[in-house]
Amino acid sequence: MWKRIIDGFNEVFSFFIDEVKLVVTDAGTVLFFILAMFIYALLYTMGYEKETVKDLPVAVVDLDHSSLSRQFSRMADATEQLQVTCKPGSLKEAEQLFYDGSVNGVILIPEDFEKDVLCGRRTSATVYCDVSYFMLYKQVYAGAVYATGTFGAGVEIKRLLAEGKSTAQAMDMQDPLKVNVYNLYNSSGGYASFIMPGMIVIIMQQLLLIGIGMLGGTIREKKIFLKMNSSVIRRLGSIRLVFAKASAYVLFFLFTSLFSMFILHRWFVFPDNGKFFPIMALMIPYLYSVSFLGLGISMLFKERVQSIMFMVFISPVVVFLSGVSWPAAAIPPVLYTAAHIFPSTFMVPAYLKLRMYGGGFEAIHAEWAAILIQMFVYFAFACYSYKLSIKRFGKRIGANIIKEELAFHNTKE
């Protein structure tokens, strides 16, 4: 009994070493397993380094040319969202600047602006912004709202002071309902802090699936299936092979995850309320689950290029359905249910709970259990897929050999 156990471990270790050698000697797989994880994570994060869009160029069309209109223009320029770069003389000129791309928005101050303010009449400032680009629209609109709100508050306080109210009374009357806002988990309100932690998890999954798919095409192209035939068809052979292969992939991605999830996280000062060991306890079954899924799917690919085309096709779908770029609650239930085929759909919220929200392991029991179930299901799927594919491949190769021998004999006769 002990001899069989030792022989089993030796066979798993032999498969593991063979797979590591196959990965490091394949330039394409090295690119996706190691280099791409470093490059993608770094480039994506550097692209969002500024976190928020600031100092967007806007044009102010001042038709009043009064001291109060100039003050309002200065207040708009003082916001972190806006920078007044030009003051055209008419709305037509501002429109041309907008279409040329010189400005991202236009603020129109009407005639009699100061007169209406001093007379206590309602007046307005018109804001034109491009809603087709949501991030720019949001910042232009927010900057204009901040400037208008501050300007209006100042006018109201001066009016109340003129009526004999004290400064404290004027402040309270101007703002009777004060709202205190606290930015939880993402204090800077930055886009990178919002998108990148979950995006890195998805990038890891897609690169792992692409790399495994490429290796699946490689072992078919190089006829490595023939060498696996005797090992897999015997009892527990596919189990040992699949586990060894997946362990090799997990080893590579645990190495790259140290950079993408810890070094890069600290480098760009993303919110970090998690601890190393709970994150690793979540990461290891996740990587095994993705690896087993990839091994099962890889049997569909007869050529390396097919895996790349397939994974590139589904990558945008995975990102959207994961709930990273769009709230999961707003995704149609049928689509979101289908998205749980991919381990990242469970992994992203669990990882964010640990890393950003500071929750303990008890906060992710449901997601962790789901990933474990996926791991075992995909392990069984990968074992069956390998065993079936290798048997079919062996029969097809054997049939081809017999045909070639018959053709050779017929030719001699």
Q: Please check whether residue 183 lies inside any domain of the structure.
A: no
Whether 241 and 364 map to the same domain: the answer is yes
Per-residue confidence band for 370, with pLDDT thresholds at 50, 70 and 90: very high
Model confidence at 336: pLDDT above 50: yes
Let me know: does 208 contact 347? Beta carbons within 8 Å: no
How many domains does the chain fold into?
Answer: 2
Q: Please check whether residue 375 lies inside any domain of the structure.
A: yes
Q: What does pLDDT average to over the chain?
A: 80
Model confidence at 342: pLDDT above 60: yes
Q: Please check whether residue 181 lies inside any domain of the structure.
A: no
Q: How far is the C-alpha of 404 from the C-alpha of 413, rounded, in Å?
A: 14
- The pTM of the full predicted model, rounded to 2 decimals, is 0.78
Q: How far is the C-alpha of 294 from the C-alpha of 311, rounded, in Å?
A: 10
Q: Which domain holds residue 158?
A: 56-174
Whether 91 and 204 map to the same domain: the answer is no
Let me know: does 41 contact 267? Beta carbons within 8 Å: no
**pLDDT one-digit tens code per residue, 276-325:** 888 888 999 999 999 999 888 887 777 777 777 777 777 777 877 777 77
Last residue of a domain, one of 147, 174, 201: 174
**pLDDT one-digit tens code per residue, 372-399:** 999 999 999 998 887 777 777 655 544 4
Last residue of a domain, one of 139, 174, 209: 174
Q: Please check whether residue 182 lies inside any domain of the structure.
A: no
The one-character DSSP state at 330 is: G
Per-residue confidence band for 11, with pLDDT thresholds at 50, 70 and 90: confident
Let me know: does 103 contact 109? Beta carbons within 8 Å: no
Dump the DSSP string for 166-215: -HHHHHHHH-SS-------S-TT--HHHHHHHHHHHHHHHHHHHHHHHHH
Q: How far is the C-alpha of 142 from the C-alpha of 148, rounded, in Å?
A: 10
Let me know: does 37 contact 207? Beta carbons within 8 Å: yes
Let me know: does 311 contact 211? Beta carbons within 8 Å: no
Amino acid (1-letter code) at residue 247: S
What does R_g of the chain's alpha carbons equal in angstroms?
A: 31
Q: Quick one: average pLDDT of 106-115?
A: 90
pLDDT at 290: 93
Q: Quick one: average pLDDT of 232-240?
A: 66
**pLDDT one-digit tens code per residue, 17-73:** 888 888 888 887 888 888 888 888 888 777 777 777 888 999 999 999 898 889 989
Whether 61 and 157 map to the same domain: the answer is yes
Whether 280 and 347 map to the same domain: the answer is yes
Per-residue confidence band for 404, with pLDDT thresholds at 50, 70 and 90: very low
- A 10 A CB-CB count for 207 gives 24
pLDDT at 403: 44
pLDDT at 307: 72
Give the distance between the most distant pair of CA atoms in the chain.
121
Within 7-125, strands assigned E span 56-62, 82-86, 105-109
Dump the DSSP string for 102-152: S-SEEEEEPTTHHHHHHTT-----EEEE-TTSHHHHHHHHHHHHHHHHHHH
Whether 243 and 314 map to the same domain: the answer is yes
CATH label of the domain that carries residue 110: 3.40.1710
Q: Quick one: average pLDDT of 337-363?
A: 85
Q: How far is the C-alpha of 196 from the C-alpha of 382, rounded, in Å?
A: 30
